[in-house]
Amino acid sequence: MPPSITSLTDHACLVVHGPDQPGLVSVIAALITRNKGNIISLDQHSSDPEDGGFFQRIVFHRQNLVTVMDDIRADLADTLGPYEMAWSLSDRSQPKRMAILASKDDHCLLDLLWRQRRGDLPVTIPMVISNHTDSVEDVRSFGVPFFHVPSQTGPDKSESEAEILRLLKGNVDFIVLARYMQIISSDFLEQVGVPVINIHHSFLPAFIGAAPYRKAKERGVKLVGATAHYVTENLDEGPIIEQDVVRVTHRDHVHDLKRLGAEVERSVLSRAVLWHAQDKVIRTGNTTIVF
Amino acid sequence: MPPSITSLTDHACLVVHGPDQPGLVSVIAALITRNKGNIISLDQHSSDPEDGGFFQRIVFHRQNLVTVMDDIRADLADTLGPYEMAWSLSDRSQPKRMAILASKDDHCLLDLLWRQRRGDLPVTIPMVISNHTDSVEDVRSFGVPFFHVPSQTGPDKSESEAEILRLLKGNVDFIVLARYMQIISSDFLEQVGVPVINIHHSFLPAFIGAAPYRKAKERGVKLVGATAHYVTENLDEGPIIEQDVVRVTHRDHVHDLKRLGAEVERSVLSRAVLWHAQDKVIRTGNTTIVF
Amino acid sequence: MPPSITSLTDHACLVVHGPDQPGLVSVIAALITRNKGNIISLDQHSSDPEDGGFFQRIVFHRQNLVTVMDDIRADLADTLGPYEMAWSLSDRSQPKRMAILASKDDHCLLDLLWRQRRGDLPVTIPMVISNHTDSVEDVRSFGVPFFHVPSQTGPDKSESEAEILRLLKGNVDFIVLARYMQIISSDFLEQVGVPVINIHHSFLPAFIGAAPYRKAKERGVKLVGATAHYVTENLDEGPIIEQDVVRVTHRDHVHDLKRLGAEVERSVLSRAVLWHAQDKVIRTGNTTIVF
Amino acid sequence: MPPSITSLTDHACLVVHGPDQPGLVSVIAALITRNKGNIISLDQHSSDPEDGGFFQRIVFHRQNLVTVMDDIRADLADTLGPYEMAWSLSDRSQPKRMAILASKDDHCLLDLLWRQRRGDLPVTIPMVISNHTDSVEDVRSFGVPFFHVPSQTGPDKSESEAEILRLLKGNVDFIVLARYMQIISSDFLEQVGVPVINIHHSFLPAFIGAAPYRKAKERGVKLVGATAHYVTENLDEGPIIEQDVVRVTHRDHVHDLKRLGAEVERSVLSRAVLWHAQDKVIRTGNTTIVF
């Protein structure tokens, strides 16, 4: 039987990256073999034949995986230590815990909740946090806790951010900003300690900042798009995970662009979330490798 | 028999635009009827229900069209005068004359020559002008005159532009910059007196200016694109006619982006040229209506 | 202010089709003008310059539209009678009533409910009918009545169809089969008297019938698709309204194809529903004109 | 410097496939390491976690590759023998030799010739064979030999096929049917002994056989497509390498579908040729793995 997205008992995912060196593939494959793993899929990328970066993602099957995770981790530390590689090993039967931050617009939020319920996303959703209460009933009807943290008025958001941090701390593996219309401070990013994925409603780097659909209409573009990216200190400048576009015409007003774009936003965000949750995305500089 | 793209005897195309006013459609349709025309297709757009712009393109059939073009033009001038509408009437059996300006890269140039020879573009090509001689044999093998006008060194391009103007003057209805790597002066634009279409190798307004594929690689975008637009005084800022994109990945180096982008460039440019040649594009402000 | 999709007070939509005849556009435009309407948009298509079909959709603005609908209808009957044209006039402020029939799979059902609630579909949803009870709570949380009509076992579905007909009769303007997994009898179609739109989970005419994703996997196609069409007596053979595809690879198992295809299904169906609700779709033979 | 498509000195491509067995990745990686190769990219696919097929493509760098190809081949034979794997090792500095068979329609033919000249396809083109003479000058202007082999009238094509076979025998590594409008006999396929790639002008399995664009128009589809596939005994039934589609509307006549489809045909065919030439395509049953 083929593996499903969400229940992969005895499947591990190993991600390794760092400076490319001859023999790495062989060393890593041998490690998996001696730990009785069978490689199911392997993606490898070298950014340059000489002096480039090495990026690898391996999914392997190992009976009774849970009983040997620590042994394999110890072996990885010993074996990869001399190569100065970064690595992570995850048990694919353990879904990542994803918090969603949202505002009034609910299309991305509801889409993620529904895909998760359908079994199309290998995540649990311990909480939704919003600065509005519009979606409270919808969210709870999915059996997901909803927390309302109103935005502070004024530029200082430290108190509301602190409350959000208290809710998140220790409870989540990554955060999704599903059309969350508050700017995240660099202080927040530093303290939260987990990856944060945002959906921007334009084809970045076009139309950075506010009101991208209005700007798109004014510029007369023939396609509008959406971009999912990791959040960094610089607004709309983080590493891009996924993008897509949809065709528009002169007949479409700004509200049509919003409607058509909303469809792209939810598709793009859901793919980015799926790939992140499957450990398929590796950050390198300000870009990503997506296996 | 359905109409072909290139030989439409007794077919006229009427384009009308200006301030929207009640009854315009009726007035224009009545005019065509009393001139014994039969409307084949009609596209109409109002930019706003109140005080908006009116844009209309009508293709109509009229037996012995060529004998009555002047009468219809006179009727149009009389009838539309009070409404202060801009209009143009063209005989679809008369292909527009298109000059191509190119440099070393030949993918857009050859693609236009092929399509024209195949009968897929309703244009004649009286000349290709290039600041290089690389394509001279290819161009002449299509039976198209090739003129070499080397670029002047230094910022002053007035002499080479003057020579190009002498070649074009009176001989062409529009100009296509098929990856022509010289900046066109506003002086040239003013004097040339016909529309100029450019293909920019990015999804504008992303990556304006030089080396867009390199910038796209550095930003880590997941799609690269191309944009065909009318040339105005401001580089890469003119009204967009058509755009498209193609998916790229972390595996693609800058030269792959160029290769994949080249395919989009020639598609996008050929569609823009086709639509312009069919009088399907109306400029309004810095945007276009494409019927 | 631009028109929204759902509240178009004083906007009428006139659809006319029949044998093409010179002067039709003029006659119809004059009728609208004398009834004090102002044409907002006009789409016209002639299937052939000679002896073809004439298809036209006009949206016009008329103050106090509701008070003159009967007068305009009478004028249309008088004026178009001699031309033997079919026509319909609708008040765009009156949303169409759409019933949804569904089974266990809820992605198309929920997508339509969401879009309608968001104001992205100009319809009301008087009822959802299902042969399963899985979605009852979801549907009612949208404030939409849910009726459970279990499928009869055996080939004779006349009783369950009769019950569905009783529920629908007089209450709906069109019906959407949102992954409804029961075959509709030609008897039902005849009696229901309103258009029925179905979403088929393949790019028709490829993979007609059951289990299209399994067949697609076996055939090794590189794209899977979905098709929205009007239901006729012949299964999967009705006039196509909209289609789209998504790229798949050898890595995708049948369940991945289902997941990826589900996204296309809901997009395609929602576009077909939107266009039908806006009177943009005209059936002609076994095909459609979509303006 | 990044590798270009066509000149990859000291790069080898190893393709291995067969029944999946634990440790295979490790065994193969070790082999490359002990032969002093450095893995540049690695793609691996297992069709099923248990008892599935194993498919792997590795590109590795080895200084002075040409001097050790025989040694590596011997090592591969020894090492992989016990595993009963099929494998092939190619020197990426040696472009494959591609023959093109064409008829009157030249869009796919010219596109391949031009991409090869541009350096976008890692192939040489020793000959073009056509049953017509229309393209002789175009082909020879690329410096490529052109052979005219008229089709025999009547169903028996054995003589013309025999002549084609004499031309091809020993001179080519694969064959492309670039809109070649003659049916290939199974006898021919057997004798020619190299892969044959065809471009079919529809989205298979829709519209198998002749006149697909006419059938598409009649069925009223909203997208038309093209399919590149390996040729097998059964017409239009071979393993699919690549497919794509383009949107069409009710306005498009059959000749527009042909024009729009022609663009998709040449894109799809060129991608299939590129991937085949790069050893990225592995046939398995009647489907393909495309890395």
Task: Render pLDDT for A35-78 as a digit per residue (tens, 0 to 9).
Answer: 999 998 999 998 887 778 999 999 999 999 999 999 999 999 99
Residue B3 predicted with pLDDT over 90: no
B219 touches A at CB < 8 Å: yes
Residue D61 binned pLDDT confidence (cut-offs 50, 70, 90): very high
A45 touches chain B (CB under 8 A): yes
Higher pLDDT, B235 or B144: B144
- Residue of B10, B43, B187, B236 with catalytic role: B236
Q: Which chains touch D (3 or more CB pairs under 8 A)?
A: A, B, C
Contacts with D243 from chain C: Cβ below 8 Å: 221-223
Q: Tell me whether residues B251 and D141 touch, CB distance under 8 A.
A: no
Is the omega angle on the peptide bond into residue D145 within 30 degrees of 0, that is, cis? no
**What distance in Å separates residue A206's CA from the closest CA in chain B?**
5
User: How far apart (Å, rounded) are the C-alpha atoms in residues D227 and D222?
Assistant: 17
Determine contact: D220 vs chain B, CB below 8 A: no
Q: Find the closest chain A residue to C260 by CA distance.
A: A120
Among residues B212, B7, B199, the alpha carbon closest in space to that of B100 is found at: B199
Q: Which residues in chain B are contacts of C48 at CB distance < 8 A? A: 2
What mean pLDDT is reported for chain D?
A: 94
CB A100 within 8 A of CB A176: yes
Q: Does A246 contact chain D (CB < 8 Å)?
A: no
What mean pLDDT comes out for the span A13-42? 93
CATH number of D96-290: 3.90.550.10, 2.60.34.10, 3.40.50.170, 3.40.430.10? 3.40.50.170
pLDDT-derived band at C2 (thresholds 50, 70, 90) equals very low
pLDDT digits (tens, 9 = 90+) for A95-138: 999 999 999 999 999 999 999 999 999 999 999 999 999 999 99
Contact C262, C229 (CB under 8 A): no
* Statement: residue D63 has pLDDT above 70: yes
The token pair at A188 is 């927040």
For C9, the closest chain B residue by CA position comes to: B49
C7 in reach of chain A (CB within 8 A): no
**Chain A residues lying within 8 Å of D289, measured CB to CB:** none
Put simply, the answer to whether D38 touches A22 (Cβ < 8 Å) is: yes
**What is the per-residue DSSP string for B51-76?**
T-EEEEEEEEE-TTHHHHHHHHHHHH
Q: How far apart (Å, rounded) are the C-alpha atoms in residues D197 and D238? A: 9
- Is D114 in contact with B110 (Cβ distance < 8 A)? yes
> pLDDT category, C3, cuts 50, 70, 90?
very low
Helix, strand, coil in percent for chain A, rounding step 5: 35, 30, 35
Residues 61-90 of A with CB under 8 A from C: none
Domain B11-91 fold is: Alpha-Beta Plaits (3.30.70)
Query: Closest by alpha carbon to B163, among B140, B130, B193?
Result: B130
C288 part of contact set with chain D, CB < 8 Å: yes
Chain A neighbors (3+ CB pairs < 8 Å): B, C, D
Q: Which of C120, C236, C244, C252 is catalytic?
A: C236
Do D110 and B114 count as a contact with CB atoms less than 8 A apart? Answer: yes
Give the span between the Cα atoms of D228 and C185, in whole angstroms.
Answer: 39
Q: What is the pLDDT of residues B206-258, one digit of tens each?
A: 999 999 999 999 999 999 999 999 999 988 899 999 999 999 999 999 999 99
Q: Do domains C11-91 and C96-290 have the same CATH topology?
A: no
Cβ–Cβ gap D30/A29 under 8 Å? yes
Instruction: Kindly give, in sequence order, each residue whose CB lies less than 8 Å from that of residue D157, ignoring residues fewer than 6 positions away.
Output: D151, D182, D183, D185
- Contacting C residues, span 174-193, partner chain B, CB-CB under 8 Å: none
Residue B123 has pLDDT above 80, yes or no: yes
Residue D8 in this model has a pLDDT that exceeds 90? no
Residue C63, judged by CB atoms within 10 A of its CB (0-12, 13-18, 19+), counts as exposed
Q: Residue C142: pLDDT above 50?
A: yes
Of D3, D25, D43, the CB nearest to A39: D25
B245 touches chain A (CB under 8 A): yes
With an 8 Å Cβ cutoff, are A251 and C41 in contact? yes
Mean of all residue pLDDT scores within chain B: 94
Query: Does residue C25 sit at the B interface (CB-CB below 8 Å)?
Result: yes
Q: Residue C254: its chain A contacts at CB < 8 A? A: 2
- In total, the C-beta contacts within 8 angstroms joining chain A to chain D are 71
Q: Do B2 and D259 touch (CB under 8 A)?
A: no
Q: Are the Cβ atoms of C255 and A141 closer than 8 angstroms?
A: no
pLDDT at D51 over 90: no
**Cβ contact, residue pair A46, D39, below 8 Å:** yes
CB contact under 8 A, A290 and B220: no
Q: Give the C-alpha separation, B272 to B264, whole Å.
A: 12
Taking the Cβ of residue A53 and every Cβ of chain B, the question of whether any pair is shorter than 8 Å is answered with no
For chain C, percent of residues with pLDDT exceeding 70: 98
Q: What is the pLDDT of residue D7?
A: 66
In the predicted structure, residue C47 carries a pLDDT above the cut 90: no
C-alpha distance from C239 to closest chain B C-alpha (Å)? 22
Nearest CA in chain D to C241: D222
In A, which residues are within 8 Å of B250 by CB distance?
45, 47, 287-290
Where residue D5 falls among pLDDT bands split at 50, 70, 90? low
Identity of the residue in B3, B141, B253 whose CB atom sits nearest the CB atom of D2: B253
Chain D CB within 8 Å of residue A39 CB: yes
- Catalytic residue of the set D236, D244, D252, D256: D236
Measure CB to CB from residue C223 to each of D219, D243, D289 and give the nearest one: D243
Per-residue pLDDT tens digits for A168-227? 999 999 999 999 999 899 999 999 999 999 999 999 999 999 999 999 999 999 999 999
Which residue of A3, A40, A44 is in closest CB contact with D39? A44
Q: What tokens appear for D178 in the block?
A: 């670039």
Q: Helix (H, G, I), strand (E, B), or coil: what is residue C71?
A: helix
* D49 in reach of chain A (CB within 8 A): yes
Mutate which of A263, A269, A274, A278 to test chain C, going by most C C-beta atoms within 10 A?
A263
CA distance C253 to chain A (A): 7
Question: From the list D110, D114, D120, which residue is nearest B259 (CB)?
Answer: D120
pLDDT at position B4 is: 57
CB within 8 Å: A41 and C251? yes
pLDDT band at B1; cut points 50, 70, 90: very low
D209 touches chain C (CB under 8 A): no
Over residues C153-186, the pLDDT tens digits come to 888 889 999 999 999 999 999 999 999 999 899 9
What chain C residue is nearest to A268 in terms of C-alpha separation? C263
Q: Binning pLDDT at 50, 70 and 90, where does residue C220 land?
A: very high
Residue to mutate among D120, D251, D253, with most B CBs inside 10 A, is D120
- Residue boundaries of the structural domains of chain A: 11-91, 96-290
Alpha carbon of A75: minimum distance to chain D alpha carbons (Å): 16
Q: Does D141 touch chain B (CB under 8 A)?
A: yes
Active site residues of A: 236
Is residue C120 classed as helix, strand or coil in its secondary structure?
coil
D242 close to C (CB below 8 A)? yes
- Taking the C-alpha atoms of residue B263 and residue B257, their distance in angstroms, rounded to an integer, is 10
Cα separation values, C276 from A259, B136, C8, C280, Å: 17, 53, 16, 6
Contact state of C219 with D205 under an 8 Å Cβ cutoff:
yes
- DSSP for A249-291 reads -TT--HHHHHHHHHHHHHHHHHHHHHHHHTT-EEEETTEEEE-
